[in-house]
Amino acid sequence: MMLGSQKNRTGLRAGALLAVSALALTACGNDGGDGGSATEDGAESYSIGVSQFLSHASLDAARSGFETRIEESGLDITLDVQNAQGDQATANTIAGSFASADHDLVLAIATPSAQTAAQAITDVPVLFTAVTDPVSASLVESNEAPGGNVTGTSDANPVLEQLTLLTELDPEATTVGIVYSSGEVNSEVQVEWAKEAAEELGLEIVEATVSNSSEVQQAANSLADVDALYVPTDNAVVSALETLIGVAQDRQIPLIPAEGDSVERGGLATYGLSYDQLGAQTADMALRILTEGADPATMPVETLTEPELYVNPAAAEAMGVEIPQSMIDEADHVVGQE
């Protein structure tokens, strides 16, 4: 999946402001924030704080897509990019610093960062991305009418289609193990979706919870008797994906992740969203707020509606699974053939 590399930043002000564009084009004022500031030649300039909860490929891709679209806008916008490295206390500190900074808008990447930003920042627009269920995370009143200064894009994944894919790849599978973070609302929501899908498909879900990525190995070992593994868009678990891939290979069972990038990292197959495109879509929302005065309270939460099929033939061989040629032919992305 489309991934831009960037050196991680930690702490309150752990990196210099990144000027993503210096082109001076006239822009309208921002009714949602402080309206930007004028440069010496009279053009508007804007500042956006970016709070990313941790680094893994999907979140990095969302940030990269946002940055690229902002740069392509040609506006004079600086990004203050901060990364909590998976530490909630650091995420709180970043949110607090952004609350007192002179930003025109704040972007929060992943549910934990979005929740802390929404709690700390009430006087400027806050956008989120890579949040599975904004309502359950108490970020918005509803997806259709957020009702406050917070809105954004959701990465709600097609769990039923993903587990259906599992049954096609391994018709004999009856139990599916899921490792997820007990403290992540988005993960709890996905497990409930998986249970509903499993009931429809005649599967049984077996759960194991972790509090951080260092516990993933132990949790996976506790799922000794499952026929397959499913990995939701859980930040801590996805950051330790290679651990679960190793377990799947050792046991010769399929591993279905919820993200296309996780297939490229060694997962078997999935119907996944483009996080780069999701980040770009969030940037489009930011530009409407900054230059058109769009109000987050009335901007519906957006999502991508067309997931793409990812397959990884090498991973299938390592896990002892055969991908039908018809599925490979239909795939949007075949790892190793792109």
Q: pLDDT, tens digit, for every residue of 314-336?
A: 999 999 999 999 999 999 999 99
CA atoms within 13 Å, Cβ hemisphere of 173:
29
Residue 57 domain-assigned?
Answer: yes
Looking at the structure, do residues 216 and 233 belong to the same domain, yes or no? yes
Looking at the structure, do residues 80 and 113 belong to the same domain, yes or no? yes
Looking at the structure, do residues 204 and 316 belong to the same domain, yes or no? yes
Residue 188 has pLDDT above 50, yes or no: yes
Q: 């259906």: which residue's tokens?
A: 164
Q: pLDDT, tens digit, for every residue of 22-33?
A: 333 223 333 334
Under 8 Å between Cβ of 313 and 158: no
pLDDT band at 37 (very low <50, low <70, confident <90, very high): low
What pLDDT score was predicted for residue 94?
98
Under 8 Å between Cβ of 196 and 156: no
Looking at the structure, do residues 259 and 280 belong to the same domain, yes or no? no
What pLDDT score was predicted for residue 1?
33
List Cα–Cα distances, 292 to 35, 162, 183, in angstroms: 10, 38, 37
Residue 10 domain-assigned?
Answer: no
Looking at the structure, do residues 267 and 278 belong to the same domain, yes or no? no
Distance of alpha carbon 13 from alpha carbon 15, whole angstroms: 6
Residue 6 domain-assigned?
Answer: no
Q: What is the CATH number of the domain that holds 108?
A: 3.40.50.2300
What is the chain's mean pLDDT, rounded? 89
Under 8 Å between Cβ of 49 and 82: yes
Residue 31 domain-assigned?
Answer: no
Looking at the structure, do residues 177 and 125 belong to the same domain, yes or no? no
Longest dimension (CA), the chain: 68
Distance of alpha carbon 328 from alpha carbon 338, whole angstroms: 12
Q: What H or E segment, with its residue span, contains residue 127?
A: strand 126-131
Residues in the chain: 338
Looking at the structure, do residues 126 and 237 belong to the same domain, yes or no? no
Work out how many domains the chain is built from and give that number: 2
Looking at the structure, do residues 213 and 245 belong to the same domain, yes or no? yes
Q: Name residues whose C-beta falls within 8 Å of residue 83's C-beta, 6 or more positions apart in sequence.
A: 8, 9, 10, 14, 52, 53, 54, 55
Looking at the structure, do residues 90 and 211 belong to the same domain, yes or no? no
Among the residue ranges 22-26, 87-91, 156-160, 300-304, the one predicted with the least confidence is 22-26
List Cα–Cα distances, 68 to 84, 218, 254, 295, 328, in angstroms: 22, 39, 35, 23, 31
Looking at the structure, do residues 211 and 65 belong to the same domain, yes or no? no
Q: Name residues whose C-beta falls within 8 Å of residue 244's C-beta, 6 or more positions apart in sequence.
A: 179, 216, 220, 229, 231, 237, 255
Angle at 50 between CA 46 and CA 51, to 5 degrees: 155
Token code pair at residue 176: 């599916």
Among the residue ranges 8-17, 131-140, 160-169, the one predicted with the least confidence is 8-17
DSSP state, 21?
A: -
Residue 84 domain-assigned?
Answer: yes
Quote the domain boundaries for residue 200.
Answer: 159-272+307-334
Q: pLDDT, tens digit, for every residue of 91-143?
A: 999 999 999 999 999 999 999 999 999 999 999 999 999 999 999 999 999 99
Distance of alpha carbon 21 from alpha carbon 44, whole angstroms: 12
DSSP state, 199?
A: H
Q: What H or E segment, with its residue span, contains residue 284?
A: helix 275-292
Residue 20 domain-assigned?
Answer: no
Spacing of C-alpha 278 from chain mean position: 8
Under 8 Å between Cβ of 217 and 243: yes
Q: pLDDT, tens digit, for every residue of 49-102?
A: 999 999 988 999 999 999 999 999 999 999 999 999 999 999 999 999 999 999
Token code pair at residue 320: 């002892």
Residue 311 domain-assigned?
Answer: yes
Looking at the structure, do residues 143 and 217 belong to the same domain, yes or no? no
Residue 35 domain-assigned?
Answer: no
Q: Which of 186, 162, 166 is nearest to 175 (CA)?
A: 166
Q: Which of 228, 169, 170 is nearest to 204 (CA)?
A: 228
List helix spans (H) across 121-239: 159-169, 185-201, 216-221, 235-239
DSSP string, 287-317: HHHHHH---GGGS--EE----EEEE-HHHHH
Looking at the structure, do residues 137 and 121 belong to the same domain, yes or no? yes
